[in-house]
Amino acid sequence: MIRNSIFIVGASFKASPVCGALVALFSIAFACVPAAQVLLMASLIEELGTDNATYQTIAPQIASIIVLVGLVSSLRTVRDFIAEIVQLETGATLQGQLADRTAKLEPHEIATEDLASEIEGHSRAIVDHISRVYGDALMAVESILGAIGVVIALANYSLAAAGLTVLTIIPAVTIGVYISRAHKRMWLLLGKIYRRERYLRETLGSRSALLELTSFGTVDRIGELEKEAQARICEVRKGPIRAGLQATGIAAAVNGTLFALAIGAVFLGVGFTPVATAAVYGVFGAVNAVATGGSKIALLVQYGPTVASLVVFLSRPVPPQVSRFASEEAGPIETLEVRDLTLFYPESSRPAVREASLSLSRGEMIAIVGRNGAGKTTLLNGLLGMLPIAGGRVLVNGRPVAPAAQDWWLSNFGAMAQDFGKYELTVSQSVALGRSGGATDSEVMDALRSARAEDFVDGLGQGVSTQLGEVWGGVGLSGGQWQRLALARVYLRNADIWVLDEPSSAIDAETEVEIFDELRRSRKERATIVVSHRAWTLREMERIYVMEAGQIVEAGSFEELLSREGYFARLFREQTLERERPSAPVVDMQSSTES
């Protein structure tokens, strides 16, 4: 707990050093207040008990008490406002660190649902309480120092009462330990629930989704699911509260007993004298100070598991960003060979891809085809490092490499996924995501031109500066337009190897022809892997690899595979193979083979 608290306190102080220092100074000053109050009250009572007491003799004590109580109350409010600034700065800093570390995750880690839920849980925990650890820790220190001062002052009257008062911290800390376990269980569950609730909430705020669901008359179902998610969040978050209520009942009984014994010890120690009044007041102050300190320590203990989990995540070692041989040694990629590649999905005992082999060279276009679920996208994910390789090798220019989260390796790929991103930024910002160093408007326009997206972008009103996406009040695009922007990102990246998973699935037939013509025209600049369900796009491929049940079952040119009358020929028999170019809507292999 101490190590994790020190980590967060250090991060908070760095996030807001001036405000952090002010809060610390205020807390140290406030730590002296409880003992000062007890001593001033004791002095006042002792003076009142003398025969010489007058307004003049008690004025210093009265004035000091008034100033102390009145000033401290106002200064505590000031301290709380400054602590809020520290909390905000800390939250922003920790969220930034979380984003930075997430951006450095390995691709196969990002693809897992558990990690995505863990990240969501960390983000929510930062907002809920981790950002407050600095303030809570300082208040715990303040309360503990204050309690020590009061207990020392109380010891002047009764050592037994002082000792019994110190023991009242045990129930508070015990409560913290008990509740911390409930907090840990809570956050393990909340990550997934929060992700689902956020998705449902965003769906309810999407104009296109509302239009579609309203036309179906089913938008209320999303509302019901959102309410269920909120109810589930509420129920899960009640767990620590219930645990706290149970533990507090027992702690209250223990504290009550200790408090009664401390009061008894006072009277046994000083008898029935005026000083007893000061001693009893000291017990009150000591118990309150110890209880406050205990509650703050209990908070730190409660939040310990979530803080520790965040610290572990932020401290994860960053994978080495180098290949097995340096990029300057490797030079441009001329050949890529996959030998007997075997891939497993997490927690699955059956391989998703088994002993797959393929090869390509710069200037070649190859295709991977097969029914849905045959393993095409999985094979590409393994090649890109999204799945760990269980068997086989990948060779570049004849030399083995490990396609993990290595900057050099991934920098050689321009990938367009089947579920391509629809980034609701400006057109220029969306396309510029294809290059880590950004791009000029001129470079963006060149990429749009190659992806056959220039005309529709020019018609958007503000060109490449047009805001996209209805969430931000921008322009809504069709699926084909979004897909052309995704392809433009690949053109902008201009990598040695292109991986295009259904690059024209949402595009009209005429534009599809233009896109593939451009890919063929510029093919010598790269090696290209295409996943496609459309027969005519495969005619000019150097090789076609046919997958079934996670294996490559056939390979060859378009004409060779058709002549064999094998699996490939059966898949494409229902498409119009005589036509060189589609002049009408293209027949899709998915629909023809799945009907």
The whole-angstrom separation of Cα 429 and Cα 439 is: 9
* H or E stretch covering 210: helix 207-216
Helices (H), 271-375: 274-302, 304-314, 327-330
- The reply to whether 55 and 194 lie within a common domain is yes
Point out the domain boundary residue: 314, 348, 377: 314
Asked if residues 187 and 127 have their Cβ atoms less than 8 Å apart, the reply is no
- The reply to whether 488 and 354 lie within a common domain is no
Other beta carbons within 10 Å of 119: 19
- The reply to whether 439 and 397 lie within a common domain is no
Look-up of token digits 């010489």? 52
Other beta carbons within 10 Å of 441: 14
Q: Is 404 helix (H, G, I), strand (E, B) or coil?
A: coil
Classify residue 192: in a domain, yes or no: yes
- This model's pTM is above 0.85: no
The whole-angstrom separation of Cα 491 and Cα 228 is: 44
The whole-angstrom separation of Cα 452 and Cα 488 is: 8
The whole-angstrom separation of Cα 577 and Cα 574 is: 8
pLDDT on residue 322 = 44
- The reply to whether 489 and 503 lie within a common domain is no
Q: What are the helix and strand counts (H, E) for the chain?
A: 24, 10
- The reply to whether 203 and 263 lie within a common domain is yes
Supply the range of the domain harboring residue 432.
420-494
Q: b/e per residue, 364-391, with b = 16+ CB within 10 A?
A: bbbbbbbbeebbbbbbbbbbbbbbbbee
How is residue 375 annotated by DSSP? Answer: S
Classify residue 514: in a domain, yes or no: no
Classify residue 328: in a domain, yes or no: no
Classify residue 325: in a domain, yes or no: no
- The reply to whether 117 and 235 lie within a common domain is yes
Tokens standing for residue 235: 């129920």
Q: What is the dihedral of CA 61, 64, 66, 72, to 10 degrees?
A: -140
Tokens standing for residue 522: 């510029």
Asked if residues 162 and 304 have their Cβ atoms less than 8 Å apart, the reply is no
Nearest to 480 by CA among 379, 586, 370: 586
Classify residue 426: in a domain, yes or no: yes
Point out the domain boundary residue: 314, 344, 378: 314
Classify residue 112: in a domain, yes or no: yes
pLDDT on residue 330 = 52
Asked if residues 431 and 439 have their Cβ atoms less than 8 Å apart, the reply is yes
C-alpha dist (Å) from residue 443 to 366, 436, 439, 453, 488: 27, 14, 6, 13, 10
Classify residue 402: in a domain, yes or no: yes
Cross-strand bridge partners of residue 343: 353, 389
- The reply to whether 450 and 432 lie within a common domain is yes
How is residue 581 annotated by DSSP? Answer: S
- The reply to whether 188 and 301 lie within a common domain is yes
The phi and psi torsions of 369 (rounded to 5 degrees) equal -130, 165
Classify residue 520: in a domain, yes or no: no
- The reply to whether 433 and 540 lie within a common domain is no
pLDDT on residue 291 = 67
C-alpha dist (Å) from residue 525 to 496, 500, 518, 522: 7, 15, 12, 6
* Residue 82: CATH number of its domain: 1.20.1560.10
Point out the domain boundary residue: 284, 314, 344: 314
Nearest to 531 by CA among 371, 351, 364: 371
pLDDT on residue 215 = 63
Asked if residues 367 and 541 have their Cβ atoms less than 8 Å apart, the reply is yes
Strands (E), 157-287: none
Residues contacting 575, CB < 8 A, separation 6+: 534, 535, 536, 587, 589, 592
The whole-angstrom separation of Cα 494 and Cα 62 is: 80
Asked if residues 121 and 195 have their Cβ atoms less than 8 Å apart, the reply is no
pLDDT on residue 548 = 92
The whole-angstrom separation of Cα 148 and Cα 31 is: 9
Note the residue count of the chain: 595
Cross-strand bridge partners of residue 396: 336, 399
Give first-to-last CA distance, the chain, whole Å.
Answer: 60
* Residue 362: CATH number of its domain: 3.40.50.300
Other beta carbons within 10 Å of 469: 20
Instruction: Walk along the chain (595 residues) and give the pLDDT tens digit of each residue.
Output: 667 778 888 888 888 999 999 999 998 888 887 777 777 777 777 777 676 767 677 777 777 877 777 677 788 888 889 999 999 999 999 999 888 888 777 666 665 667 777 787 888 888 888 888 888 888 878 877 877 887 787 777 777 877 887 777 777 677 767 777 777 677 667 777 887 888 788 777 666 676 667 766 777 888 888 888 888 888 888 887 887 777 777 777 877 787 778 777 777 766 555 666 666 766 766 677 666 666 677 677 777 778 888 888 888 876 554 444 344 445 688 899 999 999 988 778 889 999 999 999 999 999 999 888 899 988 988 888 778 888 898 888 888 876 654 666 777 888 888 888 888 889 999 999 888 777 888 999 999 999 999 989 999 888 899 998 876 778 888 888 999 999 999 999 888 999 998 888 888 888 888 888 888 988 898 999 999 877 788 888 999 999 999 999 999 998 899 888 888 888 777 664 444 455 544 444 443 333 2
Residues contacting 265, CB < 8 A, separation 6+: 158, 160, 161, 164
Look-up of token digits 């595009």? 507
Q: How many domains does the chain have?
A: 3
- The reply to whether 436 and 568 lie within a common domain is no
- The reply to whether 440 and 551 lie within a common domain is no
- The reply to whether 297 and 343 lie within a common domain is no
Cross-strand bridge partners of residue 103: none
Tokens standing for residue 438: 């950004």
Tokens standing for residue 259: 């408090």
Asked if residues 8 and 135 have their Cβ atoms less than 8 Å apart, the reply is no
How is residue 386 annotated by DSSP? Answer: S
